[in-house]
C-alpha cells in the first residue's frame, strides 16, 4: 500500500523537463578547405626534437 501510495507522488517528478546546467551540446561542420593546411605546431615540435638530437 505504501509503495502504491508513493508512486502517485514520485513518478510525476520524472516527467518534469529540467535541463542540466552543465550540459553542452554543440555540432560543428568543418569544411574540406580547412584541411588543406600544414600543421605548424607539429612542425615546430619536430624542429625542436631535431635541434635536441643535433645538440646531443
Partner 1 sequence: MTIDNNLLYANPDGNAVLILHDSKSGELIEVGMGPKPDNKFWVAVTTPKEGYVVVHSNLERGWYPETKSIISYTDKAGLTINNGARIVVTNLDIGEFAIDSYSVFGKEGSTDPPAVSSGSMILDFMSGDPAQNVFAFFPFYVAAGVGLIVGVLFLTKKRS
Minimum CB distance to partner 1 smaller for 8 or for 35: 35
Q: Is 52 in the site for partner 1 (CB under 8 A)?
A: no
Q: Is 13 in the site for partner 1 (CB under 8 A)?
A: yes
What is the distance between the alpha carbons of residues 49 and 42, in angstroms, rounded to a whole number? 10
Q: Is 34 left (phi over 0), alpha (psi -120 to 50) or beta?
A: alpha
Minimum CB distance to partner 1 smaller for 23 or for 54: 23
**Contact residues for partner 1, defined by CB under 8 A:** 2-3, 6, 10, 13-14, 16, 18, 20-39, 42, 45
Amino acid at each position: 500500500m505504501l509503495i502504491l501510495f508513493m508512486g502517485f507522488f514520485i513518478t510525476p517528478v520524472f516527467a518534469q523537463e529540467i535541463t542540466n546546467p552543465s550540459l553542452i551540446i554543440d555540432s560543428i561542420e568543418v569544411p574540406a578547405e580547412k584541411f588543406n593546411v600544414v600543421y605548424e605546431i607539429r612542425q615546430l615540435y619536430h624542429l625542436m626534437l631535431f635541434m635536441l638530437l643535433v645538440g646531443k
